[in-house]
Amino acid sequence: MKIDAVAVSSTNMKNTMAFYKLLGFQFDAYDADAQHVEPRTPQGSARLMIDAASLLADLLGEAPRPGNHAVFALQLASAAEVDRVSAAVKAAGHPLIREPWDAPWGQRYAIVQDPDGYRIDLYAPH
């Protein structure tokens, strides 16, 4: 068994897609009004399913609570890439929950937040 995808909801698909592009996710050509997208990691190892909160409300009968049901980690190629990606996220106006640091477990680590409040851990082995 393997994890194939992680799903999050979005209150603003355009902003959410722009954020995940900063992290390196690859998007096919999606309509600007898309209610569901599935970008891939550059290595193609997993998908991120992003659903409009309004779509989930229609499907589930209630709106999801953004930022409360998913935390995931992205392994980057190097410590320098952790620094570069987190700087790009910050420069684009998104919050850094924690600036890059050298974690005692041997990884360069940073924690960012997407437009809907989901926490994303960025890390790379030293």
When mean pLDDT is compared across 15-24, 32-41, 54-63, 83-92, the lowest value belongs to: 54-63
State pTM to two decimals: 0.74
- The side-by-side arrangement of strands in the sheet containing 71-75 is 71-75, 119-125, 107-113, 96-103
CA distance 77 to 89: 17
Query: Domains in the chain, start-ordered, CATH in brackets?
Result: 5-125 (3.10.180.10)
Euclidean distance between CA atoms 16 and 101, whole angstroms: 25
Mean of per-residue pLDDT scores for the chain = 86
pLDDT, average across residues 38-62 = 82
Instruction: Taking residues 99-126, report their average pLDDT.
Output: 89
